[in-house]
Amino acid sequence: MRIDVWSDFLCPFCHLGRRQLALALAEFEQADDVDVVWHSFQLDRNAPAVASESNVQRVADKYGVSLEQMEETHRAMAAAAAEVGLDFQWEKVVGGNSYDAHRLHHHARSIGREQEFMDTLMRGWYTDGAAIGDHETLMRLAGDAGLDVAEVRRVLASDDFGHEVRTDEALATQIGITSVPTFVLDQKYAVSGAQGADALLKAIAYTWADQGNRPEPAGGGGCGGGCCGGACGGGADGSAGDATADDVVGEASGCGGDGCDGAGGCGGGGICGGHDDTHEHEHAHV
């Protein structure tokens, strides 16, 4: 079975969701037969490399809430992170642009260092306040993850792996992903947001048991009647893509335009800064 995950390094819920997925798979007996594929998603393609203002203040201003209200939201996120062994130092977080970090992620995958790079980069941004849109910072973190710094410098100076990033983003658009993290299970079901290890485990178990049962793709939707790149496109009724399997695989609880209502994800009006118009579209059935 395959799990495709779209995420952005600059989304705190993606860090939380990644840990929750790892915890879920640790409890899943068939985990050795599950492949996890990580895909790039940028919440803001037009952001500067490194944001100059306070990240919490920027998000508060964007959604028209008080700084105090947004700080309380981030404290709640830090508490949820601590419950699964993560250290979210939200006061240190530096905003910016994640394009080059995503390119390096694809480079790290190509040389067999994906896990090490993701661990180091996420810890750097999430806990240490590293500005991951800055090339010098990226080179340092990549070196810490065991990548060759000279090669990393060369990649950053080029547009290598930019095609891979844009392909991931185009596929997200095609299948209706507008917020992250989004987990696409066995090319059929989608779970959006950091909903907890137990919820993910139930969704994975349901999907595992449901293997071999394929929905009939609608003509003209998604990949034209088939599956591509990790998810099926085009529902027969054009309805929302968070497929429901009783109460196991369902709608994400997300972040609203005036802050966060609890467990959700980033994007679609969420607290992490939203995304540009290239991602604004109706969900397709996954």
State pLDDT tens for residues 4-61: 999 999 999 999 999 999 999 999 999 999 999 999 999 999 999 999 999 999 888 8
Neighbours of 161 (CB within 10 A): 20
Q: SS3 for 26-94, per residue? A: HCCCCHHHCEEEEEECCCCCCCCCECCCCHHHHHHHHHCCCHHHHHHHHHHHHHHHHHCCCCCCHHHCC
Q: Is 208 exposed, middle or buried (0-12, 13-18, 19+ CB in 10 A)?
A: middle
55-63 helix and 67-83 helix, angle to the nearest 10 degrees: 120
Q: What was the pLDDT predicted at 27?
A: 98
Residue 284 maps to a domain: no
What's the rounded Cα separation, in Å, for the pair 98 and 169?
A: 13
Task: For residue 174, give its domain range.
Answer: 2-279
The list of the chain residues with pLDDT below 50 reads 218-248, 250-264, 269-286
Note whether residue 285 is domain-resident: no
**129 domain-assigned:** yes
Closest alpha carbon to 252 in 4, 9, 17: 17
In a domain, 168, yes or no: yes
The owner of tokens 């429901």 is 244
Q: Does any domain span residue 205?
A: yes
- Give the containing element (helix H, strand E) for 255: strand 255-256
pLDDT in tens, 162-172: 999 999 999 99
Asked if residue 286 is part of any domain, the answer here is no
Rounded-to-5 percentages of helix, strand, coil across the chain: 40, 15, 45
The predicted pLDDT at position 196 comes to 95
- Residue 266: per-residue pLDDT: 64
In a domain, 196, yes or no: yes
CATH assignment at residue 251: 3.40.30.10
Helix (H) or strand (E) holding 259, with range, is strand 259-260
Which tokens sit at 73?
Answer: 């939201």
Helix (H) or strand (E) holding 214: none
Q: What is the pTM of this model?
A: 0.80
Count of the separate structural domains present in the chain: 1
Q: Which two tokens stand for residue 286?
A: 């996954």
pLDDT of residue 214: 65
pLDDT number for residue 275:
43
219 occurs within a structural domain: yes
Q: What is the mean pLDDT of the chain?
A: 81
Q: Which tokens belong to 55?
A: 């990240």
